[in-house]
A and B are shown apart, each in its own frame.
Chain A
Amino acid sequence: MTLLETEGLSRRFGGLTAVDGVAFQLAEGEIRGLIGPNGAGKTTFVSLLSGRIRPSAGRIRFAGEDVTMLPAHKRVGRGIAYTFQITSIFARMTALDNVKLAAQRRLAHSWAGPDSERLEAAAMDALARVGLAARAGGLAGTLSYGHQRLLEVAMGLAMAPRLLMLDEPTQGLSDEEIAGFVGLVRGIARDATVLLIEHNMRVVMELASRITVLERGRILAEGTPAEIRRDEAVQRAYLGG
């Protein structure tokens, strides 16, 4: 079943067309890699999907409904979660409070907020899944960079999204941390569809069931990792072949 679909999606910034008539489909349950050279429009494209910016033209459908004009926070409510490329956590709050913030909107049924024990349990569960349970009480700003990236993912998990968009999640991580991360994303993909924007080719090839290649705002190629590796246009444009 198609979870997310765009038709003719475009975004112009003055004279520059960052995303140019993209038709994109994402099936429920897959891990999709989104790659492309710098300036290909990857970040603009996911910003359009998350609702952080409005398209100049085109439509976005999510779970069968048109969400093109829906503001970002309402899309999150529908199950589209986004983790930031640049680490964006609440540095002066504890790791646990960061994850609670991600979980409480989903668990609350009124302005009074959710039951505090349930909230705590949900937040601790998300922290445990990324291996940060022992750091729950520490201030988020004092965590190591790698741990902050994991905290971002824990916040994404705590939202229990249907689609989780990870924007360059392994940037700045050590090889060891990346290996752990690959396992983590596989685990996430059991209950959510994952759109992975990633520079690290090894990670994308290892994780993605299908890969979409963007170049100059258009889809250059789409296929399995093996197909993408063989594709001559991709090699010319991107892999430096």
Chain B
Amino acid sequence: MTAGGLDRAALLHLAVPALLFALQFVLPDYHHVNLARVMVLASFAAGYNIVFGYTGLLSLGHAMFFGAGLYTAGLLAQYAGVAAAPGFVLAILAGALFAALVGILALRTSGVSFMIVTLMFAQAAYLALHYFGDYTRSDEGFVVPAELRRLFGLALADPATRYFTALALFTGTLAVCHAVARSSFGRVLAAIRENEERTRMLGYDVFAYKLVALALSGAVSAAAGAAYAMLFGYVGAGLASIQYSIYPLLWVLMGGAATVLGPFLGTLAMFYLVDTASGFTSAYLFLVGLALIALVLFFPKGVLGTLRERALPWLP
């Protein structure tokens, strides 16, 4: 790793938020709100990438961590009048704690079993949302009142504030992922992904590292969930359903697993693919499927993963 590589990577990671910052002044309203949503969902994908991309654990239950953030912030606002800032902090803590508890049990398994165990936990959480439907309003969901959606005196429902908040979240997530990818902690995660037994025999407590990675991933996913509730004002069980466990997997696969910018690129591409395709056909999922098949055939490591392999080895 040359110093030049490090600088280029850091510059690139600064350039993307800067570009997004500039974009908001020129974007039409429709794309303005879309991009805010993409940034929040990309933060979720980036959180997923910590576990899937860097540590090599295929979770099919991340909707429960996104949902943990969504409902912690949403329910606290709705029933206890908790403001956005403390709600956001509590949501992150809830996500980390929830992920750690799930991890203590689920991380006893690996591979396909881990995938199934996380899926079961997420389904249990999803069903719990229905069981407590009196409070959660189940699939119908509830709208968080605009007067509670305020951060430091600014209305989050206002498009410009919403965009800035989404950008701040996204930039923060990017910084966390950049730091993880560059750190010695991140190197151990990658080692676990490549060869778990060897990593253990180098003296690393593999279980503890995985658990910390999962808790961190849960915290970031919950941060995205809380931001979703506060920025778009809607909280519903659909956002904690199996679909929202599969989406981050697809977004990360599309953009490039274990790349810092891949989750954003994948989320952006998939969002506009669905958006454009559904504009002229009701069978838009068919087109999405075609795109995914093409992706697997021509970019098996995602857009940025393949780019890194073929042309830009310094890409983080």
Interface contact B184-A114, CB-CB below 8 Å:
yes
Closest Cβ of chain A: how far from B53's Cβ, in Å?
14
Quick one: which of B184, B197, B203 contacts A76, CB cutoff 8 A? B203
Interface string of A106-125 (1 = CB under 8 A from B): 10100111100001000000
Interface contact B200-A101, CB-CB below 8 Å:
no
Interface contact B184-A108, CB-CB below 8 Å:
yes
Quick one: which of B197, B202, B205, B206 contacts A101, CB cutoff 8 A? B202
Please tell me the number of chain B residues within 8 Å of chain A, measured between CB atoms: 20
Interface contact B204-A105, CB-CB below 8 Å:
yes
Interface string of A41-61 (1 = CB under 8 A from B): 000000000101000000000
Chain B residues with CB under 8 A of A91: 194
Chain A residues with CB under 8 A of B195: 88-90
Chain A residues with CB under 8 A of B204: 73, 105
Closest Cβ of chain B: how far from A5's Cβ, in Å?
22
Chain B residues with CB under 8 A of A159: 202-203
A101 with B201, Cβ < 8 A, contacts A108-B184, A114-B184 known = no
Q: Once bound together, how far apart are the Cα atoms of A81 and B204, in whole Å?
A: 12
Chain A residues with CB under 8 A of B8: none
Whether B278 is near chain A, meaning CB under 8 Å from some CB there, is no
Whether B24 is near chain A, meaning CB under 8 Å from some CB there, is no
Q: Once bound together, how far apart are the Cα atoms of A158 and B254, in whole Å?
A: 38
Whether A186 is near chain B, meaning CB under 8 Å from some CB there, is no
Interface string of A71-106 (1 = CB under 8 A from B): 111101100011010001111110001001110111
Interface contact A90-B203, CB-CB below 8 Å:
no
Interface contact B200-A72, CB-CB below 8 Å:
yes
Q: Once bound together, how far apart are the Cα atoms of A155 and B185, in whole Å?
A: 18
Q: DSSP majority for the B interface?
A: helix
A93 with B205, Cβ < 8 A, contacts A101-B199, A113-B185, A119-B184 known = no
Interface contact B203-A77, CB-CB below 8 Å:
yes
Interface string of B165-204 (1 = CB under 8 A from A): 0000000000000000001110110110011011111111
Interface contact B197-A88, CB-CB below 8 Å:
yes
Chain B residues with CB under 8 A of A92: 194
Q: Once bound together, how far apart are the Cα atoms of A82 and B198, in whole Å?
A: 10
Closest Cβ of chain A: how far from B79's Cβ, in Å?
37
Interface contact B185-A84, CB-CB below 8 Å:
no
Chain A residues with CB under 8 A of B184: 100, 104, 108, 112-114, 119
Closest Cβ of chain B: how far from A185's Cβ, in Å?
19
Q: Once bound together, how far apart are the Cα atoms of A105 and B194, in whole Å?
A: 18
Quick one: which of B183, B194, B199, B202 contacts A113, CB cutoff 8 A? B183
Interface contact B185-A50, CB-CB below 8 Å:
no
- Listed in ascending order, the chain B residues whose CB lies under 8 Å from chain A are 183-185, 187-188, 190-191, 194-195, 197-206, 212
- Listed in ascending order, the chain A residues whose CB lies under 8 Å from chain B are 50, 52, 71-74, 76-77, 81-82, 84, 88-93, 97, 100-102, 104-106, 108, 111-114, 119, 155, 159
12 contacts between A and B (CB under 8 A): A50-B201, A52-B197, A73-B203, A73-B205, A74-B205, A88-B197, A90-B191, A91-B194, A101-B191, A106-B203, A111-B212, A113-B183
Give 3 nearest A-B pairs by CB, closest first: A113-B184, A76-B203, A90-B194
Given A52-B197, A88-B197, A105-B203, 13 other A-B residues pairs in contact with their CB atoms under 8 A: A50-B201, A52-B201, A72-B200, A73-B200, A73-B204, A74-B203, A84-B201, A93-B191, A93-B194, A101-B187, A101-B199, A104-B188, A159-B203
